[in-house]
Amino acid sequence: MSTYFTKDHEWIAVDGETGTVGITVYAQGQLGDITFVELPAVGREIKKGDDAAVVDSVKTAADVYSPASGIVIDGNAALTDAPELVNEDPEQGGWLFRIKLSDAGELAGLMDRAAYDAYVAEL
């Protein structure tokens, strides 16, 4: 499995044709306590860069953009009752949605962990 990151602080973990998407540790830290998560509908076709989900926090609401194009195949139902999972474990249990990738070539423009960490260090 490979994980990629965007400059908007989303991550996508790719396993075969499936990409699991969430927000980074940095992003959840900037948002503060997450109070609600709006997930995309299963079956929705999304393009790279589309706003796919919304994360509400005590500070603000933030759009989550899809790091790649595909069809939504799953949403993290646990977030409906426990949105705080995004704060507690943003890059594992707090994942937001999964897509079946339509163009794996889009991943080439994203950062790996080392590049993302360097990017965040400059913010």
Is the pLDDT at 55 greater than 90? The verdict is yes
pLDDT value of position 86: 97
So where are the chain's domains? 2-104
pLDDT value of position 1: 87
CATH topology classification for 2-104: OB fold (Dihydrolipoamide Acetyltransferase, E2P) (2.40.50)
Exposed/middle/buried for residue 25 (C-beta within 10 Å: 0-12, 13-18, 19+): middle
CB 94 within 8 A of CB 86: yes
Confidence of residue 24 (pLDDT cuts 50, 70, 90): very high
Confidence of residue 89 (pLDDT cuts 50, 70, 90): very high
Please give the Cα distance from 123 to 119 (Å, whole number).
7
pLDDT value of position 87: 97
